[in-house]
């Protein structure tokens, strides 16, 4: 930092996104590890939205919709992989898994659910823009 102020350069902007990234990360971890699935989904949505905001603000992305959709695909694939490792595909009873999603399966469903929501929001936002 120089002691002389560059009046032509203007002021440096402070970004609010790191606070929301930290909050989203903390909420998603709390929800996933403790088993509070709505908190996990909300935390993952906040985390992904904040990351998309950072990418847009720093001009790595032209809009927020594509990063949201991309993060949605990543979360959905991760959640499905977590569920897939815990459920036997030969005796898969979808209604039993969804009605009582305990343990690792519930956590995987929360991650996949957040991914699907992000994917839908990203696609709809991209199409309406």
The chain-wide mean pLDDT, for the chain, equals 86
Name residue, tokens 């994917």. 119
Q: What angle do CA 46, 49, 79 make, to 5 degrees?
A: 70
* Residue 80 Cα to chain centre, angstroms: 15
Q: Which residues contact 124 (CB under 8 A, 6 or more apart)?
A: none
Is residue 8 pLDDT above 60, yes or no? no
Contact between 28 and 71 under an 8 Å Cβ cutoff? The reply is no
Q: Are 66 and 119 in contact (CB under 8 A)?
A: no
Q: Hey, which of 10-14, 33-37, 92-96 has the most confident mean pLDDT?
A: 33-37
At 17-50, the pLDDT tens digits run 889 999 999 999 999 888 888 999 999 999 999 9
**Cα gap 29→45, rounded to integer Å:** 12
Reported pTM: 0.82
What is the structure's pLDDT at 123? 96
């Amino acid at each position: 930092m120089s002691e002389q102020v560059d009046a032509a350069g203007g002021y440096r902007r402070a970004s609010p996104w790191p606070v929301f990234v930290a909050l989203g990360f903390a909420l998603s971890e709390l929800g996933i590890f403790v088993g509070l699935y709505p908190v996990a989904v909300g935390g993952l949505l906040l985390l992904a939205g904040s990351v998309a905001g950072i990418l847009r603000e720093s001009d790595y992305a032209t809009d927020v919709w594509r990063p949201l959709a991309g993060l949605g695909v990543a979360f959905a694939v991760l959640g499905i992989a977590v569920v897939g490792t815990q459920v036997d595909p030969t005796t898969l009873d979808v209604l039993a898994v969804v009605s009582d999603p305990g343990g690792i399966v519930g956590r995987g469903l929360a991650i996949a659910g957040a991914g699907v929501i992000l994917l839908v929001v990203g696609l709809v936002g991209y199409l309406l823009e």
